[in-house]
Amino acid sequence: MKNKILIGFALLSSCFYAQDDILDARNNFAIGQTVTVRGVATNGSELGSIRYLQDATGAIAAYGSSLSGVGRGDSISVTGVLMDFNGLLEISPVNSHQNIQNVGIPVAPAVPITLVNESIEARLIKIENVTFVETGSFVANTNYNLTDGTNTLQLRVTTGTNLVGTAIPTGPVSVTGLVGQFQTNYQILPRDLNDVVTYVAPQQEINVTIGGNTILTNGTYVVGNATSTTVTVQNYGVGTLSVTGAVFSGTDAADFGTDLTTLSIAGGSSATFNILYTPNGNGSRSAVIEIASDDADENPYMINLSAVGVDGLADEPMASATNLDFSNEKAWTFTLNFDGVPSAEKYLVLWKNGSAPTDLPVDGTNYMRGDYIGTSKVAASGVATAIVPRGVIANQTYYFAIYPYNGPAGFENYLTTAPLTGNVTSAGSNVGSYYAGITSAEPTLITELTAKVNPHTVVTYAAYKSTVMQNFEVKDTTDGQSYVTCAYSGENKVFTDPFDWSTIGYSREHSFAHSWMPTFDASTLPEYADQHNLYPTNLQQANTPRSNLPMDEVTGTVLFNYLEGTVGLDDDGQMCYEPRAKQKGNAARAMFYMCVAYNGIGGESWVLPSGQDQMILKEWHFADTPDNYEIARHELMFNNQNNRNPFIDSADFVCFIDFATMTYNVDACTLGEKTLKLDEKSVVVFPNPAKDVIYLQVNGTEIKDFTILDLQGREIVRKKGLNSKYETLNTSEFKAGTYIVTVNTPLGSVQTKFVVE
């Protein structure tokens, strides 16, 4: 999950029921896990089917049509799956909710533009003394910019608000709204006209920071074992703020003191004082500091203090968790559940493939999801008692050990005796009777397979992120980060959640190239988004170099290489792309699937294009048989699309299909020469966009001559009498723009466009 600044919220805990809090749900649960939280809704139907919920610790968005009756101030419990929607963490869809009672809308604290970030995402806040950059009237579903004179913040006006059609204020305003996010931009979402009002400068406005971070009233600060902590009191008002002192309350109030007497802080200024701490015992220590001032709506300003005693550690839990069980056991996932104990705040869950974890956590050490303790990996660390580990593959036995602990980071105290343990075996291939009645001995094999895999559930291209990446391909690595593996090159790309294609430079690569598809211009059709054909790859280092080159063994000159993915010359002297060995069979089976799945639909012929040697793909198919990763992925595709790839389930089907003609042939695994024909979709310009050089090829044939024109029809390059397998062209002197290349071959003429940056 996303990293957070520890920050609190201006709500009374008495408004809520015993429950895992929202901050823990944000910090300690992974994308794809099911969570249950309770909070107060800070918006109603004016923002559509989304509700922003907050409790005493944090805030989160929840999405679902079942929330239509939830209004502002309703305290509700929601259960659903965590997902990242363009940067916004939300519970979506909400599987169930319970409307508890209306407790009123929480106060929106004043927050400077510079503090609107991940730490207060989904929070109801107020931005004061800002102006709109734009003028005119508000338009539905449009972004505007607020500025404090130096910094800017995006404001989003949605369809359901009565702001639509009203005039944009021209003077200083105060804006109340929810903190949203779209991709890398944080936003404030006002709910109605009452949320955008003329700014009136307060006389006194208190704000408190510790270590440079704002701690909102009723927030929590970890003192740890620091004997002195400097607190900065800021006055955002125009008059003088009078701070008249501070008192401590709570269980260990006697451990805390302060050098604060009184402070007089001019408008726009700040002053400091110190919290002094001398523990009078061991283990967890806590208190509340109440800062008294003449602020109109935040007096006293309350901060919860968390500390540890003389031993430097929190209390050790008194008992281990109980009742470990497993559910939703699939080839690619499962859920483990256990019962927590009252004496433990959190749980460290270790797992290991093939044998039981024997490694022990060390007190005072903060372990994050993905870290290793010896040979054991951290599956989760936090409040969660229901865990969905990331990185599960088929036919494996995973062992778990669960250690309760207390304390903030650096002061943890783990109970290491008698941990709760257990194991589960992930499922394998689930073919069942899927192919009942289909046999490779019948000439109708192709049509029967096409009918079997169609119709299927169509999952949109955009949904690949939430259905495949977040549920399977994204895995844990050290320091709470994640990684994804490039299917072609084998690169393990490390990133900080949430996963985003553009942020990490990855893409969904079509194994059966998009330009090979007879329906190339219709990217909204099922074939474009078919998940059996899509794999994650590094865009610049794997997807772009592969382009629409045929896949083959590089036996000649290497033209480009990145890790285990290579562009070079095959036995015929033509350019090809060779992926890493572990992907060769996977790619072959994806291509075979696409030919069978869509052949004949709409009258289109889905043959392998000229230049793509089916025999090399069949060699790869048999040499690189489905491993447990591919089996798990295949079962996920079956779950998502409700259809299977026949060539993963049955190896011999390929020996009865000629993929160059899509005809039944009992000798299809002993075919001879490649079938050559002109295929305009086999023309390759690599790389595209280009900078200094391009390689030009028409798969499966030779280049006799070619001409390059700009979009004004001016001839840039002409070469004749070539008879070459491919051509290399220096484009460093080309102006940036789009060009048209026409290539003549022994089989005819083809044309395509390319871009020079």
CA–CA dist 329, 670 (Å, integer):
41
Q: What is the C-alpha R_g of the chain?
A: 31
DSSP secondary structure code for residue 735 in this structure = P
Residues 30-39 as b/e (b if ≥16 CB within 10 A, e otherwise) read bbbbebbbbb
Q: 10 Å Cβ neighbour count for 21? A: 18
Structure tokens at 504: 């990490």
pLDDT at 612 over 70: yes
CA distance 132 to 112: 15
pLDDT digits (tens, 9 = 90+) for 476-496: 999 989 999 999 999 999 998
Spatial distance between the Cα atoms of 678 and 610, rounded to a whole number of angstroms: 7
Average pLDDT, integer, range 746-756: 85
Of 635, 612, 641, residue with least CA distance to 547: 612
| Predicted confidence (pLDDT) per residue in 9-49, tens digit | 333 332 333 346 888 788 777 777 788 899 999 999 999 99
Considering only 80-94, 297-311, 487-501, which range has the smallest mean pLDDT? 80-94
Q: Which two three-digit tokens encode residue 47?
A: 């923002």
As a whole number, mean pLDDT of residues 74-94 equals: 88
Residue 440 CB neighbours (<10 A): 17
Reported as a single tens digit per residue, the pLDDT across 374-385 is 999 999 998 888
pLDDT the model gives residue 466: 86
Compute the average pLDDT of residues 432-449. 96
Average pLDDT score over residue span 98-109: 85
Is the pLDDT at 216 greater than 90, yes or no?
A: no
Which domains can be identified in the chain, with CATH numbers?
13-102 (2.40.50.200), 123-198 (2.40.50), 206-308 (2.60.40.10), 322-425 (2.60.40.10), 445-664 (no CATH), 680-756 (2.60.40.1220)
Task: Provide the residue count of the chain.
Answer: 757
* Cα separation values, 13 from 106, 295, 447, 463, Å: 11, 22, 64, 37
Task: Classify strands 322-327 and 301-308 as parallel, antiparallel or unpaired.
Answer: unpaired
pLDDT, average across residues 426-445: 95
3 with 211: CB under 8 angstroms? no
